[in-house]
Amino acid sequence: MRIGVLRYPVRTTDGMAHYELVFLNALSEVKKRVAVEFVSLVTPQHDFMSLALAGGLNYRGLKIEALHEAALYQEAPEFYLGQPPPPAGPELNPDSFYYDRNTAEAYRKAGIDLALQLGPHAYPFVARTPFVMPIYDLNHRLQPEFPEVSASGEFNRREYLYINTCRYATFVLVDSEAGKEDVLRLYGKYIDEERIRILPYYPLPTATSLPSAEELERVAAKYRLPKRYFFYPAQFWRHKNHAAILHAVKLIAQQSGETVPVVFCGSYADYFRAQNFNEIRALAKQLGIAANIFYLGMVPNEDIGPLYTLSSGLVMPTFFGPTNIPPLEAWSYGRPVITSNIRGIKEQAGDGALLVDPRSPQELAHAMLRLWQDEALGRDLAARGKQRIAAYSWESFVDRVEAIIAEACERVAAGRTPRFPVADA
């Protein structure tokens, strides 16, 4: 059995990049245990640099190593705002099946029996190849008011992708019971419980070692960080709800006199994110708190751990779930978490976080002030968070990945996978 692993170029401070890196780390262990051949399918123009940076390239046994991290750069927001929003593209009919002969031929030449697609993409099913694929969330159906999941044809693109994924996937991977319920409730006519597998998110294994004093000093000086701050690593999508944090910081200052800095990092490199980023900066200025808000832009992976460790905790009032990766990262670095009291997230966080209504800056301000003034509470929450991730070990994550792959291979070998439509001659 030959499994083709499909991925995107490694990105920094990006949830999909995190998912891919964790999955690839697990596969590096799984391949030692199973009689299956894995091959990473890449497009040369995109992936060779990212694989070198991840330490994943060699030539005839000679390891290829990158001398330094990739340069992280984005233009000023006005560059992205000066371009029109992305075009909608052709209307895709979810009930019509589009066959990509070129991709199918590429898979055939590569001898691929099963495609393991690490992010949601149509490659496997348009090539009529058995596949396993994750569905991170279905917020285009649950919260279509956010343009990042609905505008410029995005709603239609996701519908086409997820309907056909549910129709033809050997397995669909979800992050939680809540994620499974969403798939069954919204796409139950195309898939049943028997083809859904739960694989909870896991923090990058490198997060288990805390940064050294030298690393902390380097990062604090590099970004000129305040002595205390809350941290939020998130791209500037509107659903990430940076605005609620700004209103909370203003409320804290008004009600207690406390000055609470917040450090943001993440990309705004498209029209919708750049628009939101400018609105966030304007709101901070309007509220009179601009001096307390720090924008680091995109940061390399090596700086994320120190940024968490130096912080007073993660504040993440997102509107989207079912679950999220940053709370796992924060707990890994021994930091407390404030996040949203919404379905999925509250089950993920349990007693390891302060949960707030993401629509209530007042609730958020109260939680932030509690953590800011009560260090014992922060230590207690961080310890509970550590316990939550310890209950789901790296070994158990790898075992779960292995079991899913083994079961998928069995189904492919036995011909127990959904049948694709016959391609046109």
- pLDDT tops 80 at residue 424: no
Predicted local distance difference test score (pLDDT) of residue 425 = 44
State the pTM of this model: 0.91
Q: Assign 104 a pLDDT band (cuts: 50, 70, 90).
A: confident
pLDDT per residue over 227-274, tens digit each?
999 999 999 999 999 999 999 999 999 999 999 999 999 999 899 999
Q: DSSP letter string over 14-75?
A: -HHHHHHHHHHHHHHHHTTTSS-EEEEE--HHHHHHHHHHTT-EEETTEEE--SSPPPP---
Cis ω for the linkage preceding 322 (within 30 of 0)? yes
Q: What is the pLDDT of residues 343-359, one digit of tens each?
A: 999 999 999 999 999 99
Residue 104 burial (10 A CB sphere; 0-12, 13-18, 19+) = middle
The span from the CA of 195 to the CA of 167, in Å, is: 10
Q: Decide if 174 contacts 196 (C-beta within 8 A).
A: yes
pLDDT tens for 160-171 read 999 999 999 999
Q: Where are the domains of the chain?
A: 2-202+393-414, 205-390
Q: What is the H or E stretch that residue 340 is in?
A: strand 337-340
Give the pLDDT of residue 226.
97
Q: 2-202+393-414 and 205-390 share one CATH topology?
A: yes
What distance in Å separates the CA atoms of residue 134 and residue 119, rounded to the nearest whole number?
6
- Judged on CB neighbours under 10 Å (0-12, 13-18, 19+), 13 is buried
Sorting pLDDT into bands at 50, 70 and 90, what band is 208? low
pLDDT tens for residues 5-33?
Answer: 987 655 555 778 888 888 988 999 999 99
Q: Does domain 2-202+393-414 have CATH number 3.30.565?
A: no
pLDDT averaged over the chain?
90
pLDDT at 194: 96
| CATH code for residues 205-390 | 3.40.50.2000
Angle, helices 154-168 vs 177-187, to 10°: value is: 100
Quick one: what percent of the chain has pLDDT higher than 70? 93
Query: Which tens digit of pLDDT belongs to each residue from 380-407?
Result: 999 999 999 888 889 999 999 999 999 9
Residue 131 DSSP label? E
* Res 124: pLDDT: 79
pLDDT 10s digits, 118-156:
988 877 788 889 999 999 999 999 999 999 999 989 999
